[in-house]
Amino acid sequence: MSLQRLTALRALMASQPSALAAYIVPTADAHNSEYISPVDARREWLSGFTGSAGTAVVTSANALVWTDGRYYTQFEKEADLTTWTLMKQSLPETPSMEKWLASNLLAGSIVGVDPKTMTREEWTPLQTALTKAKMQLMAVDKNLVDQARVQLNEPPPERPHNVIMHLPLQYTGKTAGQKITELREAMAEKKSSALVVTALDEIAYTLNLRGSDIDYNPVFFSYLLITPTSVVLFWHLGQIPEGVAASLRDEGVEIEGKPYDEIVPTLRRFARELSENGDGEHSIWLSGEASEAIHRAASGEGDLKKPLNLVSEVSPVALAKLIKNDVELEGFRQCHIRDGIAVVRFFRWLHSQVDAGNNVTEIQAADKLLEFRKDEKDFMGPSFETIPGAGENGAIIHYSPSRDGPQRDIRSKDMFLLDS
């Protein structure tokens, strides 16, 4: 299966207007999220390796994955080692991806990557290294792995756009209107005509909204564009639910909705307008952790003879999130008390079961802990998958027991690791 997928990708690489000598597949989505949705799990589909970190590089003759020491054993179990090579990036003798490409490709080679899956901060040093080696880094706007999946009748799942909900002031301590007012003040200091927010957690924080598009993360796929006179949310098909819009109006925000996929053409139009009608001093502000694709659109690259200079630095939303207000701090305290109660109840239950000689598997333990947590007020879900490692399994990094096949019981003399 892995070879078939590689073959399809390599055919697409060769068929590009400028044939690609290498194609990079990061573990990333368009928002630089720590956790990704299945629709963005391209490296996993291509290599079979399911670890949460790693970057694949495919050439006509090689297929490699760079990952860290947490995943060496997992990679060797999951990947087809006849077609894939593990690059142990934690070891000093392992060359970086940039050095490997510079050393193994010919001068004049073109390396492709989807610019939505790489931040400007990642793109720039890679481009510099390849240019120095007389190679070119090319933005391939239509993701080749997605195209390969369609060709093999294994299309990626639909991007989720689940229900979004408003988080009341009793939990946030500050209205969305107050937050946007403060952001506009920061924009004025930077002489920015617009602020583009691309990180999903920052959008959720700014608007006091929550979602469930990525497992264990209360976020929703979107972009946020703030100008001195407007607030535009690029979400789903662009129609903001009336209940959400009404809640935002109550907090002093008149929200405009646009389709999620309209962000790039909208930024391109904005760049043209700013170039034609601007005063030459104002620019667009976005985080250096925003994707290369968003940077290109915001600067007008490819559309303007002289692309705009961007304010590409730390997001003001990220800085605002660092300072918790009294309501947020008290929320943390109460949350930990409630969760502590659930964990204590769980350990008491586990000890009583094991001491009585009853069989309790790792999966049953994780399920019981979730049951106790659901008893607590305001519980919405765990923040990551529970790691219930009994005995030797407690030594496996990021251990996740399978619900299928043989189950490991928790024995009375076991050391039991619970990471939850």
Rounded to whole angstroms, the Cα distance separating 150 from 148 reads: 5
- Tell me the whole-structure pTM to 2 decimals: 0.93
Q: How confident is the model at residue 1 (pLDDT cuts 50, 70, 90)?
A: confident
In 3D, which of 310, 222, 304, 308 has the Cα closest to residue 259? Answer: 222
- Please state the rounded mean pLDDT for residues 83-88: 96
As a whole number of angstroms, the distance between CA 183 and CA 194 comes to 10
The alpha carbons of the chain give a radius of gyration, in whole angstroms, of: 24
Across the range 270-287, mean pLDDT stands at: 84
pLDDT digits (tens, 9 = 90+) for 90-110: 899 999 999 999 999 999 999
* Tens of pLDDT, residues 226-244: 999 999 999 999 999 999 9
More confident call, 47 vs 397 = 47
Q: Which two tokens stand for residue 387?
A: 């790691």
Please tell me the predicted confidence (pLDDT) of residue 279.
Answer: 63
Instruction: Give the architecture (CATH level 2) of 1-152.
Output: 3-Layer(aba) Sandwich (3.40)
Burial of 168 (0-12, 13-18, 19+ CB in 10 A): exposed
165-322: CATH homologous superfamily? Creatinase/prolidase N-terminal domain (3.40.350.10)
- What's the one-letter identity of residue 380? M
Q: Contact 130/111 with Cβ under 8 angstroms? A: yes
In the chain, domain spans: 1-152, 165-322, 326-419
Q: What is the mean pLDDT of the chain?
A: 95
Nearest alpha carbon to residue 292 among 117, 58, 54: 117
Tell me whether the CATH fold assigned to 1-152 matches the one assigned to 165-322.
yes
Distances in Å between the alpha carbon of 90 and those of 67, 96, 132, 356, 361? 8, 10, 25, 45, 34
Q: Could you write out the DSSP letters of every residue in 95-143?
A: PPHHHHHHHHS-TT-EEEE-GGGSBHHHHHHHHHHHHHTT-EEEE-SS-
What is the predicted pLDDT for the residue at 278?
Answer: 67
